Amino acid sequence: MTTTTAAAPATTVGAPLLDVRGVTMRFGGLTAVNDVSLTVNQGEIVGLIGPNGAGKTTFFNCLTGLYVPTEGTVSYQGKVLPPKPHLVTQAGVARTFQNIRLFGNMTVLENVLVGRHTRTKEGLFSAILRGPGFHRAEAASRQRALELLEFTGLAAKAEHLARNLPYGEQRKLEIARALASDPGLLLLDEPTAGMNPQETNAAEQLVFAIRDLGIAILVIEHDMKFIFNLCDRTAVLVQGQKIVEGDKETVQNDERVITAYLGAPLETATSTDEQAEDAT
Amino acid sequence: MHELPQQLANGLILGALYGLVAIGYTMVYGIVQLINFAHGEIFMVGGFGALTAFLALPGGTSLWIAIPLMLLAGILVSTLVAVGAERFAYRPLRGAPRLAPLITAIGLSIVLQQLVFSFYPDAKKARVFPKIPGDPFELAGITIQRSDIFLIIAAPLCMMILGWFVAKTRSGRAMQATSQDPDTAKLMGIDTDRIIVMAFAIGAAFAAVAAVAYGLRTGQVDSRMGILLGLKAFTAAVLGGIGNIYGAMLGGLALGLTEGLATGYIQHVPGMDLFGGAAWKDVWAFVLLIVVLLVRPQGLLGERVADRA
């Protein structure tokens, strides 16, 4: 498991990859996520939408071990995920953040190398003694990181400090860094927040390209057009509860969704930034 | 003024000692924002670890063999104590208000000072530590004690290894990532608990190297040697910008130079003759700290806190 990416046949929907059962998250008296179940199958792009404060990011935090759900289980490839973020990553679930969280004082390449942490082995002693294994592992990591920068179109900026990148490229770098852990499932938390239409378009292409690598995707988004273009299935979260799940038509025509979330015809209800739900 | 190079050399040697100990404060602070006030005692137990190895060796063992063994023993004892302290004293308090680990640290330093007595009942008095025999030698008009050769070699070597480790290895990068954003680092698959242990261990190993250097330099160790030196090293870490490893060494050197120069020259300044000499050197060290913190609150190489958020 050093430099390979599973090259599964593109766009075929396979066995369940992520299986979330009855996840509930309470903070004191507040139930942020209430009995939500969701599956993501191999090769699928699943969307998660909902108004501000619906509990979407909290739900993500439950999946990635940042929060320990009050009730319910999260399994990945049939195994229950331990509520420890680093073990979740090791199992093959990677994520990006709604508010960008890069390591600003490290270079673009170093950020991706940090992302490869779980897929490389190196003890303190082998590093100090600098054996041949150390150099080989380091070179392989570097190679893979550069490939990912190529893939996301950041190769020319490998040596720049992450905090100096323009906004859109910081988002791309977050994706490259998440991909560096060779995930089977990628969780994207509002990948197009604050992007202009061109950038959104490019992000869409990137998400499809990632799916074609055989990586399933669960994406939180506010941009309706983006999510309905992209997703095979979409779930709607309102006040912590999943009220409906299905394809574009099912969701768009659901009475409860229209009243609870859209409130107005689709064309006018486009992205509003979700700052209030900045939970982590 | 012919003694200036000598004062500078003395200051730099003393400063390198402060710098080595300061690394421990700065690394732990950089990763967990905890000021490990027991670090001075970790330095001290390193000295006693080395002393134990020396006493266990048959008399007349060549120092070429003895010093590496003493160093190894010192590093072993310091590291074990620091890692144990992290595991049993600090880790249960992670997430507690900051005052709790701080008070724990103070308690821990008292425990460690007392613990030394159970092995060395007369630890309060100076225990004789070996010195590198031979007369001081002269280099370009500067007199250098033979025992200081150890520090002159060890300090830059340690800094080079640490600099390389942090910048170029997987664990080092994980360490940088953890210090910038621990939650994100966890999501990158980094076991931050391990990184924290590593920071404590590296800081302790550096403190042990400093303790051996201190012992060789002064020819003695005692159970209280960590108090003032720990305070000075902490000052050095703050001076250089806490959280920055190069800042720690730079702060140490600046502090050492200030003490050296203050000892040598302040009494020659007109009107200042009362405030010169060795008795006032600690005062000038803290005057330097206050001045730097007034002008650059983040320390010499520190970043503005807003950037680190």
Residues B257 and B5: beta-carbon distance below 8 Å: no
| The predicted structure's pLDDT at residue B283 | 87
What is the per-residue pLDDT for B193? 92
Chain B residue numbers touching A104 (CB-CB < 8 A): 180, 307
pLDDT digits (tens, 9 = 90+) for B33-47: 889 999 999 999 999
The mean pLDDT of B290-299, rounded to a whole number, is: 88
- Could you tell me which CATH class the domain A1-92+182-280 is placed in? alpha beta
Residue A270 CA from chain centroid, whole number: 21
- Identity of the amino acid at B63: L
Cα gap A215→A230, rounded to integer Å? 14
Structure confidence at residue A188 (pLDDT):
94
CATH of B4-129+139-308, one of 1.25.40, 1.20.120, 1.10.3470, 1.10.760: 1.10.3470
Residue B2: band (very low, low, confident or very high) from pLDDT cuts 50, 70, 90: low
Three-class DSSP labels, chain B: CCCHHHHHHHHHHHHHHHHHHHHHHHHHHHHHCCCCCCHHHHHHHHHHHHHHHHHHCCCCCCHHHHHHHHHHHHHHHHHHHHHHHHHHHHHHHCCCCCHHHHHHHHHHHHHHHHHHHHHCCCCCCCEECCCCCCCCEEECCEEECCCHHHHHHHHHHHHHHHHHHHHHCHHHHHHHHHHHCHHHHHHCCCCHHHHHHHHHHHHHHHHHHHHHHHHHHHCEECCCHHHHHHHHHHHHHHHHCCCCHHHHHHHHHHHHHHHHHHHHHHHHCCCCHHHCCHHHHHHHHHHHHHHHHHHCCCCCCCCCHHHHC
Record: contact A127-B165, CB cut-off 8 A? yes
Asked if A106 and B180 come within 8 Å (Cβ–Cβ), the reply is yes
- From A266's Cα to the closest Cα of chain B, the distance in A is 35
Section B18-47 average pLDDT = 94
Query: Where exactly are the structural domains of chain B?
Result: 4-129+139-308
User: Is residue B102's pLDDT more than 80?
Assistant: yes
pLDDT score recorded for residue B177:
93
Given a contact cutoff of 8 angstroms between Cβ atoms, the answer to whether B231 and B40 are in contact is yes
Which chain B residues contact residue A177 at CB under 8 A? 188
Query: What gap in Å lies between CA B49 and CA B226, rounded to an integer?
Result: 14
Confidence of residue A123 (pLDDT cuts 50, 70, 90): low
Among candidates A84, A101, A127 on the partner chain, residue whose Cβ is nearest the Cβ of B169? A127
Say if the Cβ atoms of A122 and B176 lie within 8 Å: no
H/E stretch holding A189 reads: strand A185-189
Q: How high is the pLDDT of residue A248?
A: 83
Residue B167 has pLDDT above 80, yes or no: yes
Lowest mean pLDDT among A123-137, B166-180, B182-196, B213-227: A123-137
Annotated domain spans of chain A? 1-92+182-280, 104-181
Point out the residue among A89, A120, A127 whose CB comes nearest to the CB of B187.
Answer: A89
Interface check A250 vs B, CB under 8 A: no
Taking contacts as CB-CB distances below 8 angstroms, the residues of chain B near A181 are 188-189
Residues of chain B contacting A86 with CB distance shorter than 8 Å: 186-192
- Answer yes or no: is pLDDT of A3 > 60: no
Q: What value does the mean pLDDT of chain B take?
A: 89
Q: Does position A279 have pLDDT exceeding 50, yes or no? A: no
B233 vs B298, more confident = B233
**Residue A9 has what pLDDT?**
43
Q: Which chain B residues contact residue A138 at CB under 8 A?
A: 168-170
CA B303 to chain A, closest CA, distance in angstroms equals: 10
CB contact under 8 A, A85 and B169: no
From A127, which residue of chain B is nearest by alpha-carbon distance? B169
Chain B contact for A144, CB < 8 A? no
What confidence score (pLDDT) does residue A38 get? 92
